[in-house]
Amino acid sequence: MKFTVENPDEKRSPYTGMTREHWIGISHFFLEGIFEHVEKLEDPIVILRHETKVSYPQPDGPKWRIAAERFEGLARSFLIAAPLLHNEPEAAAGGYSLKEYYSKQILLSVTPGTPNYLLRVEEIFPEAQEGEMAFQHTCECASLVIGLSICREVIWENYTKAEKDRIADYLSNFGHSYTGHHNWRLFNMLILAFLDREGYPIDHGMMRDHAPPEWGSPRPPFSLITRGTAGTATAIYLIITVRGPFMCTDRCGTSGTAMKRSRT
């Protein structure tokens, strides 16, 4: 089965012919395929694999890698579901309400004691390899806050205060943790910006330190936009063009703490 662009509008979209309606349609298409692997509402999204030697988790790998696989399934499919939910709050896939599924799964994933719990930084460290300080969870937390921002009125705003606090505490755990000396700083920035916007305390000095100096100029150099992976470029685009929802407030300081975090 493949997605076909019917009635393309090459005037509005000369390269693909795809309009807003087509993008909504392809979101349904992808999610229907993803949810073929979900048997009940409580199940995490784990896509069928055809090898175990290259991709993770591997048979002898640590437990946190298994959690990372589930986190990728949740967060990355949510990047497809969130824009769809913003346009169609009652959208479904595989017979499941997407609003109900993601609301439930996000909460289960950050709640200790549930089968879907994804672990915190301090629970991952004991299984980490020597010198391993940054983890895939940080990237997925960034994807999660992008999705929560896009369909904020459908999912985030319907959580109770206690549920929001639980999710925010989990996000803060990774947002304030060690990150890589490269584009991963952006993941931490997205997490912290979301928390700041929602009224949760963050280390504003860390937020400031993660930002490259070029971002302070009115016109960041083109190399900044194109550097790194396509996913990173997309996130940079979000930060630059959607400054209001994603950037932290002007309370950010300059304490120089971003890269000084350790296991202790």
Which tens digits make up the pLDDT trace of 145-201?
999 999 999 999 999 999 999 999 999 999 999 887 778 888 999 999 999 999 999
**pLDDT at residue 134, as a whole number:** 76
User: Going along the chain, which residue ranges are E strands?
Assistant: 92-93, 96-97
Strand-pair category, 92-93 with 96-97: antiparallel
Q: Per residue in 106-118, pLDDT tens?
A: 999 999 999 999 9
pLDDT at 232: 44
Position 215 scores a pLDDT of 59
Q: What is the DSSP letter of 154?
A: T
CA 23 to CA 144: how far, in whole Å?
20
Would you tell me how many other CB atoms lie within 10 Å of the CB of residue 50?
A: 5
CA distance 107 to 160: 11
Question: For the segment 227-242, what is each residue's pLDDT rounded down to a tens digit?
Answer: 443 344 344 434 433 4
2-57 confidence digits (pLDDT tens): 899 999 999 999 999 999 999 999 999 999 999 999 999 999 999 877 777 777 77
Work out the end-to-end distance of the chain between its first and last CA atoms, rounded to an integer number of angstroms: 51
Question: What is the pLDDT averaged over residues 200-225?
Answer: 70
Q: Which residue is listed with tokens 């549930």?
A: 114
What predicted TM-score, i.e. pTM, was given to this entire model?
0.81
Q: Which amino acid is at 173?
A: N
